[in-house]
Structure 1
Amino acid sequence: MDIVLAMRVFARVVEANSFTRAAETLDMPRARVTVTVQALEARLKTRLLQRTTRTLNLTTDGAAYYERCLRVLADIDDIESSFLGKQRTPRGRLRVDMPGALGRLVVMPALGEFHERYPEIDLMLGLGDKPLDLVQEGIDCVVRIGTLQDSSLVARRVGIYEAVTVASPAYLQKAGTPQTLAELANHRTVNYYWSRTGRVMPLTFEVDGEVVEVKMRGALAVNDAEAYLRSALSGFGIVQGARFMALPYLQSGALIEILSPWKPPPLPISAVYPHNRHLSATVSAFIDWIAELLRHSPLFASTPELDARCRPTSAAGPDAEPIDLDGDEAEPIA
């Protein structure tokens, strides 16, 4: 049997969730699609799909095989393109995951330009901050904020994240405005905690080139960046939020920056992808695009001063070091 054709047919059945729709998009008789998948299952000696009269579901083996198929087919397309010796428009499905606030407020408003530039890329954009296994879950690329640990993944820095320490005028009028870090002991915060571990994130400040962590008391804890900032707007206490999210409120006066002589250290924004396989044209196109998007925004662009203060992309050093999304430091903060 033509194993590559069988893989393409199987992948299309999964994506269409229907033998009939897959046959239509492949311009093949439905019977041939069915026979091809059955022959593939016989060759592999395992069931890939559970079929009933109403539903079509992947088995555990089927899900694993499907993700491997996508990678193999993408590599075949890349090899063919390179040997044909011609520039080929990136095409195919691209699955990306990134922090919700960054995706909703920065990336999604610009996606029209991305699709104009790459009309043949079908983008699946996940918004969240949970730790992910890129290989097992079939994710091509994730965007993450912060220093990351070593593993079999590669990170490319695409921007710089800046935080700002803020509180509402109502809170400051009631509790007073702290003038030193020591005075934070007399104030309250809204704690941000990691969903997976429940670990609370301390406030961080740069003092004489060193990073100082300050743990504060607070009656409220959240695990969402937008809820975190909203709680400060509601007067619950002092928070350190993303500058790109806080900027409209700083401009309107709904939030006030405090302790500006001791700013939070800037953090790298990284595009992360598997280290052990060829970087596909679709992934490369997306990484180049988001790097360009952030580079042209003054809220994310790198400067010599920010570069000197920015924490490293990975715990081991340079931007291209392999990193790990499973460690605590790998969890995004926006």
Structure 2
Amino acid sequence: MDQIQSMRVFARVVEAGTFTRAAESLGLPKGTVTRLVQHLEARLKVRLLNRTTRRVTVTPDGAAYYERTSRLLNDLDDIEASMSNARVNPSGRLRVDVGTSVARLILIPALPDFYVRYPDIQLDLGVSDRPVDLVTDNVDCVIRGGELLEQSLVARRVGNMPLVTVASPAYLRRQGTPAHPSELEDRHTTVNYFSSRTGRPYANLFEKDGETLEISGRYQLSVNEANAALAAVLAGLGVGQIGLFGAAEHLERGELVQVLAGWTHPPIPLHIVYPPNRHLSAKVRAFVEWATELFARHPGLQG
């Protein structure tokens, strides 16, 4: 038990950045915190932390130890939670990673409701459009659009994201309005989106009456983040395919105009993904169920 306590104290020092803050958050004397970390280092025969008068930094060995012990401590907390009233009142830190547009427009605005239901869950929200390795990055669950590449993970499909092809009024005044998707390859400029994983651009897809077209588009700007793509189209840099839930308010205000309306982009599936664990922790289960309800009732997502 002393070893587990030392591991918890070490992890808190890493997270707090100083022995003083760690001691305050744990309700322990600073001397006790220092002593427990020193005993841990002596037991492991490695230096885990570099101390200065102002701050503590983690050594490479310390970073590796922290990553592995964090998962172990979370597992221990989950085991205890499964045997206690935490099923009713989930608690603890939860690391979730979500795409930028979904975070800004759907998830974060709804979090007040989440905290009314689960006030004891501390949410660490990673916001990016880059691929995430749940195990390596120590993430509990991920919310992502697109087809799944890692088949060993558990995925719950929570909706479909329609895309619309849009341009700014300034761009259309300057370049005219495309009448057919093929015009994006020579007469018009597109704002393209490229994969953060491979660096390769995604094709613009168009479907109509059973016909499917993949248009690479002639572009001056390609981005790998959804908010940047929207900003580029709003700035008049080209025609882009944008998620309807992100474009809707700009279409209503006349800041964007839908083009090629007779052609549709196949909806992008939206999933909540988590590792295959028969004993899914109470906090992860609570978040997954809440997020599933949230996406199911959102008007910008198809069922």
TM norm structure 2: 0.89
Distance 1:88 1:39, change over 3 A: farther
Amino acid at match of 1:5: Q
State the 1:247 CA deviation: 0.5
Secondary structure of the 2:155 match is: strand
Name stretches of at least 5 consecutive residues in structure 1 with no aligned partner.
303-334
Alignment pair present for 1:135 and 2:135: yes
d(CA) in 1 for partners of 2:231, 2:52? 47
Aligned to 1:240: 241
The answer to whether 1:44 aligns with 2:48 is: no
Aligned residues of 2:164 and 2:264 also touching (Cα < 8 A):
yes
Deviation at residue 231 of structure 1 after TM alignment? 2.5
1:25 aligns with 2:25: yes
* Separation in structure 2 between the aligned mates of residue 84 and residue 143 of structure 1, nearest angstrom: 28
Query: What displacement does 1:119 show?
Result: 1.0
Structure 2 runs not aligned, ≥5 long: none
Instruction: Tell me if structure 1 keeps the 8 A contact 2:159–2:271.
Output: yes
Q: How does 1:1-12 map to 2 (within 5 A)?
A: 2-12=2-12
Aligned counterparts of 2:65 and 2:134: Cα–Cα separation in 1? 15
Match of 2:113, SS state, is helix
Structure 1: distance between partners of 2:68 and 2:19: 20
Counterpart in 2 of 1:72?
72
Distance in 2 between residues matched to 1:45 and 1:299, nearest whole Å: 55
Equivalences for 1:173-188 in 2 at 5 Å?
173-185=173-185, 186-188=187-189
In structure 1, how many angstroms separate the alpha carbons of the residues matched to 2:210 and 2:78? Answer: 46
Three-state SS of the structure 1 residue aligned to 2:136 is helix
Match of 1:307 in 2: none
Give distance in 2, aligned partners of 1:69 and 1:172.
56
Q: What is the SS of the residue equivalent to 1:36?
A: helix
Aligned residue number for residue 220 of structure 1: 221
Residue by residue, what CA displacement relative to the aligned partner does 1:13-55 show, whole Å, maximum 9, x if unpaired? 2222222222222222222222212222222232222222222
Judge conservation of contact 2:182–2:215 (CA < 8 Å) in 1: no
Displacement of 1:276 after TM fit? 5.9
1:138-167: CA deviations, max 9, x gaps?
A: 222221110121354332222221110112
- RMSD between superposed Cα atoms in Å: 2.3
Letter in 2 for 1:57: T
Q: Structure 2 counterpart of 1:125, which letter? A: L
TM-score, normalized by length of structure 1?
Answer: 0.82
The CA deviation string for residues 147-203 of structure 1, in whole angstroms up to 9 with x for no partner, is: 121354332222221110112234334433333333434322122223454322221
Matches of residues 313-332 of structure 1 in structure 2 within 5 Å?
Answer: none
Question: Could you say if the C-alpha distance between residues 30 and 145 of structure 1 is closer, same or farther in structure 2, counting changes exceeding 3 Å?
Answer: same
Q: Which amino acid aligns with 2:232?
A: S
Structure 1 position 257 matched with structure 2 position 258 = yes
Q: What secondary structure does 1:287 align onto?
A: helix
* Structure 2 match to 1:189: 190
Which deviates further from its counterpart, 8-17 or 80-89? 80-89
Partner of 1:272: 273
Using the alignment, how far apart are the partners of 2:197 and 2:83 within structure 1? Answer: 45
| Percent of pairs with identical residues | 53
The aligned amino acid for 2:291 is I
**Equivalent residue letter for 2:243:** A
User: Is the alpha carbon distance of 1:24 and 1:230 closer, same or farther for their aligned partners in structure 2, counting shifts above 3 Å?
Assistant: closer
Aligned to 2:60: 60
Runs of 4+ in structure 1 displaced over 6 angstroms? none
Q: Does 1:161 align with 2:198?
A: no
Q: Match for 2:98: what amino acid? A: M
| Other-structure match for 2:14 | 14
Amino acid at match of 1:274: P
Q: Secondary structure at the match of 2:266?
A: coil
Residue in 2 that maps onto 1:198: 199
* Cα 1:30/1:231, change in 2 over 3 Å: closer
**Cα distance in 2 for residues equivalent to 1:134 and 1:38:** 31
| Other structure's SS at 1:212 match | strand
Structure number with greater CO (CA < 8 Å, separation at least 6) is 1
Q: Say whether the 8 Å CA contact 1:81–1:88 is kept in structure 2.
A: no
Alpha-carbon deviation of 1:214?
0.8
Select between 192-201 and 248-257 the one with higher mean Cα deviation. Answer: 192-201
SS at match of 2:135: helix
Contact 1:101/1:226, CA 8 A, preserved across alignment: yes
